[in-house]
């Protein structure tokens, strides 16, 4: 799944969540169409401004993306209310990704799960076994990744997104050991962070039998480490 991270209306990539971004495009819609032409079957969009500041001016732009392409598109970043979820689903997004709010407010998450079911997915951003929140700037006190996954499973979630924040944007390879360990939970996992080569895709594909359901790739595609068709053929 190609990632399209948007900050101030531009497509950017970060390193370990640090906001010294590199701009790859000033036109997110054009970028989305590009990945579709390359064979993408699903797009992963993140509103970085909303993730950090709890507000964003990107919605007027982002809302056009799902209608500009003919594949499913999911959206995450700073989504903290049921109204916001409904607004994004009504705009045509197939799924909404929850992060900080899902960690901080269990009652909200339970209600959202009951109301929206599989149209929401939780993204777990981790650092050294701890759940990170607020654009990866803080660890949520007392919450480990394993404990959080157990609580999500109890709520009925079947799949999560897992990002190792120390790997993200580094092009140093995914945390295979951590991913494999978390797959023991029985939840399907979409892996994100650190993918740098087709060999990384190959190594992750080997985890499919344990429940890995997808891979989100960002910087490696934008930096031309491999092409999307090559990755899709391998996966």
What's the rounded Cα separation, in Å, for the pair 71 and 22?
26
Determine whether 5 is an active site residue: yes
> Two tokens at 30?
């054009």
Catalytic residue among 5, 49, 168, 200: 5
Are 17 and 219 in contact, with CB atoms under 8 Å apart?
A: no
Catalytic residue among 49, 125, 164, 168: 125
What's the rounded Cα separation, in Å, for the pair 179 and 196?
16
E-strand stretches of the chain: 3-7, 10-15, 18-25, 43-47, 73-76, 95-98, 120-127, 130-133, 138-144, 159-164, 188-192, 212-216
Close Cβ partners of 130 (under 8 Å, ≥ 6 residues apart):
139, 140, 143, 144, 145
Determine whether 125 is an active site residue: yes
What would the 3-class secondary structure string for 47-102 be?
Answer: EHHHHHHCCCCCHHHHCCHHHHCCCCEEEECCCCCHHHHHHHHHCCCCEEEECHHH
Catalytic residues: 5, 125
């Amino acid at each position: 799944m190609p990632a399209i991270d948007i900050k101030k209306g531009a497509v950017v990539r970060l390193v370990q969540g640090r906001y010294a971004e590199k701009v790859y495009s000033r036109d997110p819609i054009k970028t989305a169409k590009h990945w579709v032409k390359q064979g993408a079957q699903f797009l992963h969009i993140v509103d970085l401004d909303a993730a950090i500041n709890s507000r964003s001016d990107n919605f007027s732009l982002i809302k056009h993306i799902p209608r500009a392409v003919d594949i499913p598109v999911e959206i995450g970043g700073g989504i903290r209310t049921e109204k916001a979820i409904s607004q994004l689903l009504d705009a045509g997004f197939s799924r909404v990704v929850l992060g900080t709010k899902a960690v901080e407010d269990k009652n909200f998450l339970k209600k959202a799960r009951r109301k929206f079911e599989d149209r929401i997915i939780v993204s777990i951003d981790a650092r050294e076994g701890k759940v990170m929140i607020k654009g990866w700037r803080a660890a949520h006190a007392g919450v480990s990744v394993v404990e959080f996954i157990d609580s999500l499973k109890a709520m009925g979630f079947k799949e999560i997104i897992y990002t190792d924040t120390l790997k993200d944007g580094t092009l140093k390879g995914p945390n295979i050991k951590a991913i494999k360990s978390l797959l023991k939970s029985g939840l399907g996992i979409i892996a994100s962070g650190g993918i740098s080569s087709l060999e990384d895709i190959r190594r992750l594909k080997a985890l499919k039998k344990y429940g890995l359901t997808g891979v989100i790739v960002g910087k490696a595609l934008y930096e031309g480490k491999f092409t999307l068709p090559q990755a899709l053929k391998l996966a």
